[in-house]
Amino acid sequence: AIKCKAAVAWEAGKPLSLEEVVVAPPKAHEVRIKIVATAVCHTDAYTLSGADPEGCFPVILGHEGAGIVESVGEGVTKVKPGDTVIPLYIPQCGECKFCKNPKTNLCQKIRITQGKGLMPDGTSRFTCRGKQIYHFMGTSTFSEYTVVADISVAKIDAGAPLDKVCLLGCGISTGYGAAVNTAKVEPGSTCAVFGLGGVGLAVIMGCKIAGASRIIGIDLNKDKYAKAKEFGAAECISPEDFKKPIQEVLVEMTDGGVDYSFECIGNVGVMRAALEACHKGWGVSVIVGVAAAGQEISTRPFQLVTGRTWKGTAFGGWKSVDSVPKLVTDYMAKKIKVDEFVTHTLPFDKINEAFELLHKGK
């Protein structure tokens, strides 16, 4: 067993607590990783808030990380100690019917135990002050060491800067893939992106790389406009600056609506607006944001009858084990941006400050 520091969420709605935890060795088909860098994501904050129906406490959160394999359990063949890796919250076993289907990336092999905060054998590898601590999203990157299933790890270029590529574990990959995999944005198309946080910026990047001719960013926070324009947005607007609903504004601005729209907030009202901002006959709207438990989306069926398509995406549709190493390679070859997404770099003991910055939209 290894003793190390971890940020433990003892209960919902409370700040994370830096504790000494004990991390058990990996069992069969498990990998123990020394986490070098982790990012914070709204999904961590959502679970910490207590709104997540799958949230269980005490837990070690975190799902955007990168590190080095410390040891492996019996039967692990794809990685070895010393390998540079990114833990994956959506695994890829290669055997289930989801992995075998090219239409989805939603591997279900360990879904049930992962959702309960446990390893595939139904137990935890973390203890703190004599108590069992739950895992989170199969990754738990807010710990100096973590244990993951061997199907939940991608081996990447050893030369990659881990304090940057950790972002490919969720946010950047999700937004970029929403544009290029889920929507399949075409050259010359017009796109609208609702929510200009990290995921929204990654969507803009994907639309730009796919050849979109006009990208419109929508956000209440005007401080985010300059960054969105750097990534490729032609213009940015705020719903608060108009007397009519934002979808009507967009339909007028674009001669009938956008070809593709993306909701990157997790707000069901905005999801409706994003669909209704799409062009009749062929508009496609992709839901990227995760809404709170129990919420429902609505629109008039006529919106769909007249040729609009509503889609959703998880992790940008990437089959994780296969795709994450390629995304790292694309970044190393300067084909996609990653450095530009990093706003602050903080020491581990300032993790609660990182969440404060996240909540302030900074």
| The pLDDT of residue 159 is above 90 | yes
Whether 216 is in a domain gets the answer: yes
Whether 33 is in a domain gets the answer: yes
Of 208, 199, 153, 164, the closest CA to residue 178 belongs to 199
Same domain, yes or no: 238 and 306: yes
Whether 357 is in a domain gets the answer: no
Q: Write out the residue range of the structural domain in which residue 331 sits.
A: 2-169+319-352
| The pLDDT of residue 361 is above 90 | no
How much is the average pLDDT of 188-217?
98
Report how far residue 93's alpha carbon sits from residue 82's, in angstroms, rounded to the nearest whole number: 22
Same domain, yes or no: 140 and 103: yes
Count of structural domains within the chain: 2
| The pLDDT of residue 293 is above 90 | no
Strand 145-149 to 30-39 pairing: antiparallel
Same domain, yes or no: 288 and 188: yes
Between helix 268-276 and helix 246-253 the angle, nearest 10°, is 30
Same domain, yes or no: 152 and 216: no
Q: Structure pTM? A: 0.96
Same domain, yes or no: 149 and 218: no
Residue 234: give its domain's CATH number: 3.40.50.720
Can you give the pLDDT at residue 53? 82
Can you give the pLDDT at residue 248? 98
Can you give the pLDDT at residue 296? 97
pLDDT tens digits for 3-50?
Answer: 999 999 999 999 999 999 999 999 999 999 999 999 999 999 999 998
| The pLDDT of residue 362 is above 90 | no
| The pLDDT of residue 211 is above 90 | yes
Q: Which two tokens stand for residue 56?
A: 């269980």
pLDDT tens digits for 43-82?
Answer: 999 999 988 888 999 999 999 999 999 999 999 999 999 9
User: Which H/E stretch holds residue 324?
Assistant: helix 320-332
How much is the average pLDDT of 317-344?
97
Same domain, yes or no: 165 and 132: yes
How long a stretch of residues is the chain? Answer: 362
DSSP letter at 181 equals: I
Same domain, yes or no: 8 and 146: yes
Whether 129 is in a domain gets the answer: yes
Same domain, yes or no: 163 and 95: yes
Of 129, 183, 172, the closest CA to residue 308 belongs to 183
Same domain, yes or no: 258 and 151: no
Whether 64 is in a domain gets the answer: yes
In the chain, what percentage of residues exceed pLDDT 70?
Answer: 100
Torsion 263-267-268-272 (CA) sign = negative
Residue 331: give its domain's CATH number: 3.90.180.10
DSSP string, 5-66: EEEEE-STTS--EEEEEEEPPP-TTEEEEEEEEEE--HHHHHHHHT--TT--SSEE---EEE
Same domain, yes or no: 150 and 7: yes
How high does pLDDT run on average in the chain? 97
Whether 39 is in a domain gets the answer: yes
Same domain, yes or no: 74 and 217: no
Same domain, yes or no: 158 and 36: yes
Whether 120 is in a domain gets the answer: yes
Of 281, 227, 234, 228, the closest CA to residue 259 belongs to 281
| The pLDDT of residue 292 is above 90 | no
